[in-house]
Chain A
Amino acid sequence: MEHAQGQQHPISLYLKIWGLLFVLSTLSYLVDYFHFQGPLRWALIIIFMLLKAGLIVSIFMHLAWERLAIVYAILIPPLCLLVLMGLMAAEADYVSFSRLLFFGKGGG
């Protein structure tokens, strides 16, 4: 009963999202094609990546229409990964520093 009415959205919505994902993928490809460098490159890559991920999760995976109880059960835990990323970045920074210090460039 709930299934029949639960996730009924017009096909045109999916086609629009499909088109948007194509546009965003093309844009992120062009970032490489036109050799953007430095912070601009990283910012553009991250923005296009997050927009694509958001569209897939919210529309294609229907998370936009789920109840908050499951939405947050799925979206909050991956935030731990940001902590892991921060820890690993700090550690990698130190390892890289000591390798350069003790082995010199190219000796790692």
Chain B
Amino acid sequence: MGQSSRDAPLAESHPTEASAPGGWEGMYRDWSSDKDAFKQVSWGKAMMWIFLLSDTFVFSCFLIGYMAVRMTTTEPWPNTSEVFALTLGGHSIPLILIAIMTFVLISSSGTMAMAVNFAYRRARVRTGLLILATALLGAAFVGMQAFEWSKLIGEGVRPWGNPEGAAQFGASFFMITGFHGLHVSIGVIYLSVVAYKVMRGHYESSGNYQVVEIAGLYWHFVDLVWVFIFAFFYLW
């Protein structure tokens, strides 16, 4: 960050100083300085990151639990490619609903990233509309998940058993996708509130639109978790 990084003693370094050194030197200076280690990061953003870190552990525990039950079961694991196939126009297309859900969620991440960008340019209406688009795509995702759940429940899949094989399949499926769907649903509500406040001009007086970036962090995390669920649960 700038060539004018003067060799100030640690006690004098100021958190928001633009000339703070970067790289490894910057890292040990940040961590060894008193009071705040995360310089140039607002507390709201740091707290969202720490929350997401804790959520990473929750989801990872579910996925590792799923790994353990799948490795220990002596019955065959249901073929996800067939379980999640849809018949469209007379053809059975494997995993197609999950693929569409993946594209919808990635698109919502794209609109969210652009909303954050427009927020920092203080384009109020565009930001609000892009956040609303994100929330709508999220709602579409939850809708498709509800469809998937009802389809599987109709086929007799339950948390304690299913017609296709290992009983643990249902337990893992409902637990993991249910918890993820809950995150998406909460995200839709969260984003709607942020969109409403942005559109109403709540952040115009301060000009600080970081709240949009923080909401974006949560939303991208939901997309990130789906990447892992898609790989480990649906494709594996």
Contact = CB atoms under 8 A, between A and B. Distances in A.
B210 A22 contact: no
Contact of A81 (B31, B57, B234): B57
A40 interface: no
Contact of A67 (B27, B95, B228): B27
B64 A8 contact: no
A69 B7 CA distance: 19
Interface residues of A, number: 61
Q: Is the interface of B mostly helix, strand, loop or mixed?
A: helix
A108 B216 CA distance: 45
Interface in A39-98: 42, 45-46, 48-49, 52-53, 56-57, 59-62, 66-70, 72-74, 77-78, 81, 84-85, 88-89, 91-93, 95-96
Contacts of B120: 3-4, 6-8
A73 B102 contact: no
B169 interface: no
B105 to A, nearest CB: 9
A99 B166 CA distance: 14
B228 A53 contact: yes
A101 B106 CA distance: 45
A19 to B, nearest CB: 9
Contacts, number: 175
Contacts of B210: 3
A18 B31 contact: no
A96 B74 contact: yes
A107 interface: yes
B67 A89 contact: yes
Interface residues of B, number: 68
B2 to A, nearest CB: 12
B67 A9 contact: no
B57 A108 contact: no
11 contacts: A31-B235, A35-B81, A45-B235, A56-B227, A67-B20, A67-B26, A73-B53, A78-B53, A105-B74, A108-B72, A108-B74
Given A56-B227, A78-B53, 9 more contacts: A3-B210, A8-B117, A11-B114, A56-B109, A60-B220, A70-B37, A84-B64, A88-B65, A108-B73
Q: Which 9 A-B pairs have the closest CB atoms?
A: A108-B74, A69-B30, A92-B71, A18-B110, A49-B231, A68-B27, A95-B72, A14-B113, A92-B68
Interface of B: 16, 18, 20, 22-24, 26-27, 30-31, 37-41, 46, 49, 52-53, 56-57, 60-61, 64-65, 67-69, 71-75, 81, 94-95, 99, 102-103, 106-107, 109-110, 112-114, 116-117, 120-121, 207-210, 213, 216-217, 220-221, 223-224, 227-228, 230-231, 234-236
